[in-house]
Every structure is written in structure tokens, then in C-alpha cells.
Structure 1
Amino acid sequence: MTSVVLPRPALPLRLVAPGLALCLALALLAMGGQAVLGIAALSPLVLALILGVVWRNTVGTIAVLQPGIAFSLKRVLRAGVVLLGFQLTLTQAASVGVSGLAVIAVTLVATFTVTKLLGRLLGVPAPLAELIAAGSSICGASAVIAVNTVTNADDEDVAYAIACVTVFGTLAMLGAPMLAAAIDLGPRAYGLWTGASIHEVAQVVGAAFARGEEAGHFGTIAKLSRVMLLAPLILTLGALRRERAEGAARPPLPWFVFGFIAVVLLNTVLPPAPALHAAIARGTAFLLTVALAAMGLETDIRRLKARGLRPLALGAMAAVFISGLAFALVQLVA
């Protein structure tokens, strides 16, 4: 007989408020700091994670903060993932073309699979390898924290995975324009290559627009089409875990992913007005930044150091693999 899992009762606001307020404050500080610094590669998400780690490992956290931190890690994060759907439309995906979508899909699946296999060969713990695979193959930090809703890795694993995809995505952002100039890669081919291979959306924008408006717009659309595949990946991973688990140990279905899909469809058929769309985009970024601040507050740097250098090597291999495979496939369809 199938057991029914009842939803947990919501925590009173007075219990959630202290920890949530700290996460909100760190997120605001991160977004303000990024605006002041003006460094595109240093996203507010990464800066919020750093601030949270610094707070946890200097000031520390107390019991009264934990409910709000947990709330930010789960409820706030899932709300942000759902709202990510407003950044995508099926029309945008169609504009990439069948061949472009095939390049993106093949590159994503191959990178995720190969990275997990390489992680096993290197002796990297499976949850950490899966997060590095997700961040490298889809969309950096956002993919890491979204996939972790079904991976359930330690917070230190999440922090390490985000560090990997940030470092190697930034290197790709800086190196791609120089390589394209050396081999005279056309704007659409270059845009597709960057969109299919570089980790973060902001990194793709930085790399693609470095080669002109046409390359920039096409690269951004290709990247957003790649982000759309986050939903089926999470659903697939969740289904595999439920098949392997037994009885009450079965993980819950990630319902928020269906919310993401519904929002993509809504954004396709009934997009909000430009001003509202911009406000939603800012709100989405803020919610994800709050979640990353919470992640940092749960990260013990001593445990992070214990992971060693093998996961970093895995992140480097994943970055080289996705860049090389995407480049080869783009040459085939160009």
C-alpha cells in the first residue's frame, strides 16, 4: 500500500524571522557589493555564499537562527527556481533551431554523464560529483542548488561545487573570445558554442557579447534554452532516487519543478509587461541570493578543506570536456 506523506506544518514567523533576516541582510549586502565592484564574473549568488561562509566561520551561528536558515535553504530556494521560468520561453528555444537544440542537449547529457564517471574514477564522493556535473552541464550555481534538492548533499559539497563552476566558468568566459578571434569563428557559431558550454548565464553574456551584438543575443538565447533542461534533469534524478529507495525512505517528488515548467509555458503564451518582467527577474535573483547566503551560513570551512583537490580536478575536466565537445558539435552543424 502506498503511504501518504502529509505536508509539514509551517513554522511560526517568530521562529523563522531571525535567521531569515540574517539571510536577507547578507543577500542585500552581496547585491550591493556586486553593484559597487562591477565585476560581472562575481555574481551576487557567489558573493552571498562567500559572506555566509565568512559569517559562519568567524561569528558562528546560534540555535535561534537555524529555523530561518533552513527556511531560506528550502522554501525561498524553491520559489526562486520556479520564478526562473519567467526568463525562458518556448519561442526562444525554437529560435535556436533543431540543430542548435541538438548540440545543447547532447553536450549537456554527455557532460553530466562523463563528469559523474570521472568523479567515480577520481574517488570524488558521488553527491559532490553529481553537483559538479550539474553545475558544469547546465547553469552553474543555480543548477547546483536546484539539483541538490534531490541530491541532498552536504552543504560543504554544495559550496565546493559552486566554487568549481565559478572558477572554471570565469576562465571560460575570459578565454572564449580570444580563441574565437584566433580561429575567426562566426557570430552565430560562437554564440551557440558559448551558450552550450559556459557555466553561468552572466558568464555567457560576458563572453558572447565580447564578439558583438549578434553573437551576444544568440549566445544568451542558446544558454536560456540550456537552462530549460534543468527541469527534466531534476525530475529524472528524483525518479531514479525514488526507484532505488524503499518505503518511507523514498524522497519526495520535486513538485516545484512542475511550477517552473508551468511558469515557462505562461511566459510563452502570456508574458508579463516589460516593467513587471524586469521586476520579476530582480526578485528571482534576490531569492536565489538569499538561498546562497543560507548555504554559506551552513558551511563549515574545516569540512570544506577535507574534500581535498580531487573535486577541483573534476571541475577542470568537466569544463574542458564540455567546451571541447560543444565546439566540435558546433563545427559539425555550422
Structure 2
Amino acid sequence: MSHNIEIPAVTLQKSNFFKLYGGILFTFVIAGIGTIASDLPLFDKIGAMLTSILIAVLYRNVFGYPEDIRTGIQFSAHKILRFAIILYGFKLNIDIVLNQGGLLLIHDTLSIIVAISVTLLFAKLFKGEKMLSLLLGIGTGVCGAAAIAAVSPIVNADDEDTALGAGIIALVGTLFAIGYTLIRPILPITAVQFGIWSGISLHEIGHVAAAAATAGPTALTIGLLAKLGRVFLLIPLSLILSLWTRKNGQETAKKAPFPWFLLGFLITSIIGTYFPIPKHILSVISNDIGPFLLAAAMVGLGLNVHLSNLRSRALRPVLAMLIASIVLSAFSYFTLWF
């Protein structure tokens, strides 16, 4: 004789509440720890997001995945991620890009083409994983981890690839930014040219700011303008990737809905550009809230990373991305005179 045990609805509601909000809180706590730790020596060189990912990966491989709160962790990794990308749009001043960055947009377009094509070319030669290589190429060419986070749901990348890509791009970009500052004094270029070079070739906005600032405020301004052009090009690139994914087989197409969060990204860009919002409010949204939520989302992704897979999966794509970064730096440097 079998007995069916009924679980009270209230108990189920409490359980679901804990799974969702407990998981979200967990990612927020680790992101908070990562943000605080990023002010410490050494960690201040890699930033809050990468620090948060490293903590998440360490937790995953020491204590295992917290299955009891998986629902909330996945919510952070996917839903909050998209919201963070929407807030990222406040960083983009469309008016400045279109009115002052016309020539820079040409450089930016070439940078994206070179970065993605060279990364994929060498990944193919090295027999590296295609998806991780694609994400690294896009991150190198556009705007680092934010670009990887934006295109991952469009190209159906899994969480581990997204987390690996974001962490790798942040780390390598930091090394390149340091390298740029070290070689700047021996380069036969002006401060403005150095700013442009940084803006059209370095990986993250933070990397551009860190490197270009060493050449003065004018170099910093023109460097950020060049970088904003690459952020702007994330919109058409994402639409192209969306169309490509839809046409890449019927089964894949069903899994690739239109990336509506990019519409939100465009709307926040327009609001931040043309609406009279106080600068301090925009600063809090784009420099504090947005990056924190993106760090929390990356925690959710980082908890999926198995260190045992890192060497076998990431080594060849990383090598391809390093070569592409070097090629991009050299290519963009020589285009300064054209």
C-alpha cells in the first residue's frame, strides 16, 4: 500500500522563496566581497568583476556548486546579466560618437573585424573550441567582458564559456594596459595618438582609461571617445550575430530569440545622451549600480567553471586571443598614420 505525502503549499512557497532570493543574495554577497577586495593591492589591478569571478570559481571548486539555491544563482547569471547590460547603455553617449567620432568609427570597425577574424583563424589552426574563441574574439574587438556578456545569450554560449571568456578578457586586458603604459615613453607618437591607439585596441573601457590617462587629459578624452565607438558598434554586431544564429540551422534558430535587452541598451543610451538627467545620478547608475550587478551576474556564471576543464578547454582559445590582441595592437598602431 503506497502513501502519498503531501507537502504543505506554505512550505513549498518558503522553499522556492529561499531558492530564488537566497541564490540572488549569495551572488550579491560574493560580488560585494569582490568589490571591496578590488581596492586592495594587486586586486586593484584587475577590478571588481574579475575579482568576483575568481572568488566564485574558487568557491565552486572548493565547496562545490550550491544546489539548494541554484534557481537564484541562475536568475543572477541570466536575468540580472541582461539588466546590467541595459544599464551599461548609460555609459554610451551616442551624440558624441556620431558627431565627433566619425573617423574613429572606421578605426573601430576595422579593430572589431581584425580581432574576431584573427582569433577565429588561429583558433581553427590550433583546434581550439569555437564558441569560447568566438567570445574571446568579440571581447577583444568590442568592449571586453561586457561584450561577451551581451552576445552570449545571442549565440547560445553556455555559462562556463561566458564566465571563462569574461575572466580571461579582463585579465589579459589588464596586462596589455600595463604594457601600453610601460612602452609609451619610447614610442614616437603624440599624446593624442596614444589615446586613439589605446581606445581602438585595448579590451575594456577601464583598460583604455588606465592607459590613456598616463598621457594626459586630452589623450584620455580621445581614448574614451574611440572606445565608446566600439561600444556603439556592439549594437549592429549583436544584430548580425542574432541573424546569423537564426539562420544557422532550424534547431538553433528556435533557441535564438531576438535580443530584446539590446533594445533596452539602446534606450538607456538615448536617455543618457539626450535627456536632462543629473550627472551624479548617471554616474551612480553607470559606475556603481551597473558594474555591481554585472559582477553579481558574473558570480553566477563563475560558479559553473570547473578548473579541471580550464587547461583542456581554454588554453588554445586563449593563445589564439593573445595572438589576435598582439596583431590588433600592431595593426591599429600603424593605422594611426592613415
Counterpart in 2 of 1:295?
301
Tell me if 1:244 matches 2:248.
yes
- Counterpart-to-counterpart distance in 2, 1:191 and 1:26: 34
* 2:277 alignment partner, one of 251, 272, 292: 272
- Which consecutive unaligned segments of at least 5 residues does structure 1 have? 1-10
Q: How does 1:124-135 map to 2 (within 5 A)?
A: 124-135=128-139
- Which consecutive unaligned segments of at least 5 residues does structure 2 have? 1-14
Q: How does 1:176-195 map to 2 (within 5 A)?
A: 176-195=180-199
Q: State the AA in 1 paired with 2:146.
A: S
Deviation at 1:242, TM superposition (A): 0.6
Deviation at 1:308, TM superposition (A): 5.4
How many residues of Structure 1 are paired with residues of Structure 2 in the alignment?
322
Q: State the AA in 1 paired with 2:280.
A: A
Q: State the AA in 2 paired with 1:136.
A: T
Tell me, yes or no, if the aligned pair for 1:27 and 1:286 is still in contact at 8 Å.
yes
Counterpart in 2 of 1:258?
263
Q: Which moved more, 1:40-49 or 1:148-157?
A: 148-157
Rg larger in structure: 2
- Counterpart of 2:290 in 1: which secondary structure? helix
Tell me, yes or no, if the aligned pair for 2:164 and 2:302 is still in contact at 8 Å.
no
Q: How does 1:102-181 map to 2 (within 5 A)?
A: 102-181=106-185
Q: State the AA in 1 paired with 2:327.
A: F
- Counterpart-to-counterpart distance in 2, 1:90 and 1:142: 18
- Counterpart of 2:134 in 1: which secondary structure? helix
TM-score normalised by the chain length of structure 2:
0.90
- Counterpart-to-counterpart distance in 1, 2:40 and 2:299: 19
Counterpart in 2 of 1:53?
57
C-alpha change, 1:276 and 1:163, in structure 2 (3 Å) is closer
What percentage of residue pairs aligned between the two structures are identical? 28
- Counterpart-to-counterpart distance in 2, 1:313 and 1:202: 23
- Counterpart-to-counterpart distance in 1, 2:255 and 2:169: 30
Tell me, yes or no, if the aligned pair for 1:124 and 1:310 is still in contact at 8 Å.
yes
* 1:307 alignment partner, one of 313, 325, 328: 313
- Counterpart-to-counterpart distance in 1, 2:18 and 2:231: 36
- Counterpart-to-counterpart distance in 1, 2:51 and 2:219: 28
Deviation at 1:97, TM superposition (A): 3.2
Tell me, yes or no, if the aligned pair for 2:198 and 2:211 is still in contact at 8 Å.
yes
TM-score normalised by the chain length of structure 1:
0.91
- Counterpart-to-counterpart distance in 1, 2:254 and 2:275: 40
Tell me if 1:331 matches 2:337.
yes
Q: CA RMSD in A?
A: 1.9
C-alpha change, 1:38 and 1:275, in structure 2 (3 Å) is farther
- Counterpart-to-counterpart distance in 2, 1:55 and 1:15: 18
C-alpha change, 1:215 and 1:287, in structure 2 (3 Å) is same
Deviation at 1:106, TM superposition (A): 1.3
